[in-house]
Amino acid sequence: MAVTKKKSFREIARSLNVSPATVSRIAAGIGSFSEETRQTVLSALAAEGYSLQAEKEPSAPAIAAVVTDLSNELYNNILTCLTRYLGRKGYLLRIYLENQSQEELITHLQSEQPAGIILLGTPLEKVRAESFVPLIQVLSSSAVSYQGKVYRIFSDEYVGGRLAARLLLEKGCHRPVILNNRHTQSSESRRIRGFKDEWDSEAGSSGDIYIHDGEPFKSAFNSAHDIVSYLLAKGQSFDSIFACSDWRAYGALVALRDMNVPVPEKVRVVGFDGERVSRYCDQPFATIQQNPDMIATEAMQMLLSLIDGREVEKESLLIPVQVQRGMTV
């Protein structure tokens, strides 16, 4: 006798014209739904042979967050905000570090069946084009889609680059140095492009901008420190530094101090990200501050809308950045 395969939650949801998340949450005994919807879904689940134990304490549904680097302060701040936000909504946040092959990670996520997925700073280039659950990308440039659409949230790093340039131009700077990573990430390239465009529009030319790439196997601090020390030792003329991260800015600041170059009297320094080092080092420095709380809030509102089957107005959101003034400009 042939064995009939159970319908999946997604197939049941499609037949009832509700979202897969609705089926999943009702099966788990959580969420607020009309009694009619709840009974309809429960009947469909029972008809497919799903065992529903009402007396068992249901576990909260989970959101999976895939992150590339837990040492990144911005990512950690976003995860903290996400955990707090999700807890108020009755969800758990499970964090997956992208330290395994992408195929293994996808298989693991499929077995866990999270209600939704957040890619935080991870490209996942080899992931299949269509996600099996609602998925959004936060500070990530991959092309993973959900139901044919790619949902993304970025910081407005291009405008951040322009703000950094404007800050230095207003102080009369003419010969800036840009410190970035030799293997420039798309986020850093947007910062540099914004800086150069603002410099062009105000100063007339970006010809006096010197871009120096850090060594890939050195920390951002050590790389920036070594570059600035070398430039000073060989007598290169510059009056300002735009560092594409706060740790590069701090490395530059320490190198200037080691060489007895007064900041901001001789050289002005601006970083990017708004990390704690910019505020609590011995000479708090100017930086372009990202907003992890707003990033997390917008990310969860977008993801929960997808989970609940509601329309998302914008597939891509840019979160504004702002200038944090310190003692280095």
- In whole angstroms, give the CA distance from residue 39 to residue 306: 23
Asked if residue 297 is part of any domain, the answer here is: no
Domain boundary, last residue among 257, 272, 289: 289
Q: What CATH number has the domain bearing residue 131?
A: 3.40.50.2300
How many Å apart are CA 70 and CA 37, to the nearest integer? 41
309, burial (CB in 10 Å: exposed 0-12, middle 13-18, buried 19+)? middle
Is residue 263, in this structure, part of any structural domain at all?
A: yes
Distance CA 189, CA 172 (A): 24
The predicted model scores a pTM of 0.78
Q: Express each pLDDT in 212-238 by its tens digit.
A: 887 777 899 999 999 999 999 999 999
Range of the domain at 137: 62-150
pLDDT at 126: 47
Q: Which of 117, 150, 183 is the last residue of a domain?
A: 150
Residue at which a domain ends, from 123, 150, 177: 150
- How far is residue 253's CA from residue 289's CA, in Å, rounded to a whole number? 18
Same domain for 96 and 171? no
Predicted confidence (pLDDT) per residue in 255-282, tens digit: 999 999 999 999 999 999 999 999 999 9
pLDDT at residue 31 in the model = 63
Is 186 found in the same domain as 261?
A: yes
How many structural domains are present in the chain? 3
Q: Are residues 221 and 278 in the same domain?
A: yes
Query: Which residue numbers in the chain have pLDDT < 70?
Result: 1-5, 29-32, 51-59, 100-103, 123-130, 141-143, 182-187, 204-207
Residues 6+ apart with CB under 8 A from 319: 153, 154, 155, 156, 290, 291, 294, 295, 298
If asked whether residues 143 and 178 sit together in one domain, one would say no
pLDDT at 11: 85
Is 303 a domain residue? no
Report the distance separating Cα 311 and Cα 50, nearest Å.
30
Could you tell me if residue 314 is inside a domain?
no
Q: Which residues of 278-299 are buried (b: 16+ CB within 10 A; e: fewer)?
A: beebeebbbbbbbbbebbbbbb
